[in-house]
Amino acid sequence: MICLVVLLLFGAPGCGKGTQAQHLVHEQGALHLSTGELIRKEIAAGTPLGQKIKALVGAGALVPDELAAQLVKEHLSEFLKKGKVIILDGYPRTLKQAQELDALCAVLGQIPGLPPIKIRAIYLKTEDSVLMDRLQRRVACQSCKTIGSLKATGAFVCPSCGGTSFERRQDDTKEVIAARLKEYKEKTLPIVQVYTERKALWTVDGGQDENKVAAQIKEAVAQF
């Protein structure tokens, strides 16, 4: 039976979720729904909602459950009509959000013409020391906004346009990174156990080379 797959990418900030999502998009034709991108668009637009989110993000806090659920609900149904594998990046981040996602997929699965929906998860398990190093070197190209990384010398070359000017994300300071990691361990990590018990989760070492991680994720997706 043909099914639609909602693929969850779990892992702490800096584990490489966004990078691996792009591998899946380019190599397997998956669709990528990033709540982080949706949130950043709200902030960039300067909407009242965006201003509220900006204050939370700047302090390293998670976006409230009801707001995250609203963003996902508004976009997931449209994505499900366009592809067989939808990568849901950045959601769920709490046990309550995981329950809300179950309920949402159950409702969406009743839409005429849509095949059954399966939720599968991949956990990019990564050591804190690796995460801190990656996040402290992570920057965005000033020209095209592509995310890249500073070299050991502090220089930057954009992987997309070759630009050398960069800017840091407001949530990539050492203090905010520490707060985000603490929040992740307390609120998001417990969800891994939920999908493990459902036998719907694959664990990959996120500290490996990017291409090795991508290859192992590809093997996991093939088992869906």
Q: With helix as H, strand as E and coil as C, how does 37-66 read?
A: HHHHHHHHHCCHHHHHHHHHHHCCCCCCHH
Q: Residue 60's pLDDT is what?
A: 67
Encode pLDDT of 59-75 as tens digits: 767 677 777 777 788 78
Residue 200 to residue 102: CA distance in whole angstroms: 13
Encode pLDDT of 81-118 as tens digits: 887 889 998 889 889 989 999 998 998 888 887 788 99
Residue 70 to residue 84: CA distance in whole angstroms: 22
Encode pLDDT of 171-217 as tens digits: 677 888 888 889 889 988 999 999 999 999 999 999 999 999 999 99
CB 147 within 8 A of CB 33: no
Structure tokens at 20: 């691996």
pTM for this model (two decimals)? 0.80
Which class is 4-222 in CATH? alpha beta
**CA-derived radius of gyration, the chain:** 17
- The residues that are catalytic are 17, 93, 138, 168, 180
> Helices 65-80 and 95-108 sit at what angle, rounded to 10 degrees?
30
Encode pLDDT of 130-158 as tens digits: 998 888 888 888 898 888 888 878 899 99
Q: What is the DSSP string of 110-134?
A: TSTTPPPEEEEEEEEE--HHHHHHH
